[in-house]
Structure 1
Amino acid sequence: MKREIITIDQTKCDGCGDCVPGCPEGALQIIDGRARLVSDLFCDGLGACIGTCSKGAISIEERDAEPYDERRVMEEIIIKGGTNVIAAHLEHLKAHGEEEYLQQALAYLKEKGIENPINNDVQGNQSSEHEGCGCAGSVLMDFRKTGNDVEQGESTGQQKSELTQWPIQLHLVTPLAPCYRDSDLLLAADCTAFAIGAFHPAFMRGKSIAIACPKLDSGIDRYVEKLKSMIELANINTITVVIMEVPCCGGLVSIVNQALDKASRDVPVKKIVIGVRGDVLGER
C-alpha cells in the first residue's frame, strides 16, 4: 500500500543516535554507524523523530510500504522498554489523534495483563483490581546470560537443562527477543519432549526454542506471522521442526512453509519425525 513513512538521507546522517529515543514506536536503530528504519511495520509516518535530528536527515515521503502494525510495535516496546516507554508511546498516539491505534495498544496491554500507565487520562480504560499485575508466565527470561544451575547429580538425578529462554509457547514468545536473534530455532510440537527421553541434549542444545500444537492451538495465522518476523527481523539461521508421527502434527511443517513463503529471506529447514514410542523415524 502507498502511505506516508519516514526516509533517512544517509549522506546527512552522522549516526549520533538522537532520533532513536525520539521514535515512540522503536522503528529506528543505529546500524553500521547510521540511523536505519528497521521495519515499515513499526513506522506510523507521523514524524515524531524529525525534530530530534540536528542534521535534517529525516523527512517524510509517500511510497509503497507495509501497513503500520500496532500489535507488532507493542511487542517490541514491551520487550525493549518499560512503563515509561509504553506511556510515551500511548501519549504519542493520543497527541496525534490516532484513536484507533490507541485502542489497539490498550487492548494489547489488557491481553498481556499489563497495566495501562496513563489509565487516568484515557476514558473508559481504567484497569480493574484484578488487572495490571502482569502474567508471570509471560515474563521474558534469558538463561544464556545467567546460566542454568540444574546439573546432573547423584542427589537429585536431574540432568542439565538445555533451555535457553522463557517463555517458549509460540503464542507467548516475542520474535524480537534477544534469544532469537541470529539463532538456530527449534520449533517443536508439544508432545515431542514427552515422547523421547533425551530430548534436551538431542534437540535443544545450542538452540532457541518455541513449542506449539498445530491441532489444538488457535490463532495459526499469528504463528505464521511470528515465524515470518523471526526469519526477517530476528535473522534466525535455521529452523528445525520436530513433530510426532501422527498426521495432525504435520500442520507444524505447513506453518513454517507458509512463513517462508511470506518472508523476504530464506532459511534452511530440517524436519524430524518422532514415533509414539520415542524413536526417531526420519529426518529430512
Structure 2
Amino acid sequence: MIREIVQIDETLCDGCGNCIPNCHEGALALIDGKARLVSELMCDGLGACLGHCPQNAITIEKRETQPYNEVETIKQMVSKGKNTVIAHLKHLKEHQQKQYLQEGLEYLQSIKATLPFDIKDIIKELHHPGLQLIKNDHGGGCPGSKSISIKRSGTNTQMTEKLNQPSELQQWPVQLHLVNPAADYFRGKDLLLSADCVAFTMGNFHHKLLKGKMLAIACPKLDQGMEIYLKKLTHLIEEAQINTLTVAMMEVPCCGGLLNLAQKAATMTYRKVPIKKIIVSIEGEILKEEWV
C-alpha cells in the first residue's frame, strides 16, 4: 500500500520543538535534542507539523509500505537510543495499542543481552504513575476505528422530548465538497465545521452546537481532496466573511486534521476569524470547548 508519512532531516533539525504540539496524532517527540517520529502508526501524513518547522527539516514522503510491523519499527527505535524507545512505547500505551505494545516488549526481551541499555529501565518508565493506563483490551489499528460498546443508564424522558425538537439546519447542502462558499446564506454568519461523526454521537447536536450557525461537514481521515476543502474555507473566511468558525470534532486522534485544516485556511487569508475548538467524546459529551 502507498502511504504519505513524515520524514525528518536530522541534519537540519535544531530541536526547537515547534512541530511537537502541532502533531495532533502525537506521533512526534523531542528526543535527545532532535524531533523524532516515534510512531509511524499514528502519522496520518496530513503534514500539520510542516509549517511550524523554521528549518524546513520536515517533509512528507510518499512511498510503498508494508502493513505496520511493530518489530521492524522497534528495531529502528533501538538504533536511536533508549529515550526514543521509551517515547515510542509510551505513545503506544497512551493510544491503547496493547497488541503492538506487547509485541515491542517481547522483541526487546528477546534481544535484551545485546541492547545498549537495561530493559528494566524501559519497564520502569512504562509503569510510571503519571502514565495513562490501558482501559480496553483490543487489537491494534487506529484508535478511531476500535470497537467500543457504549452502555447508557436508561432513557431520559426530558432529553427524548428535546430530541424531537425541529431541526436547526438552515441550509443545504452541508457536505463540504458540495458547499458553495459564494452562497448568500454564508455571508457574515457563524459557521460550524463538524466532523461527520459528531452529529451521530451527540443527542443534542442541533440544540447545543448547530443552533444559529451555518453548517459544513467533513471527515479529515476518509475524505479525499483536502486542497479543495482548504480553498473553500479560505473563500468562506475571506469572501463570505463568516463571523466565527467553530470546529467540532471527535476525541479520536484522526479528527485533529479538521482543526489543522481550519487553522491553515485562517493563516492563508488577510482577514482573521475567531476559531473555536470543540472536542466530543465517543459517549457524546463535550470534553473541551475553547477559542484557539
| TM-score, normalization by structure 2 | 0.44
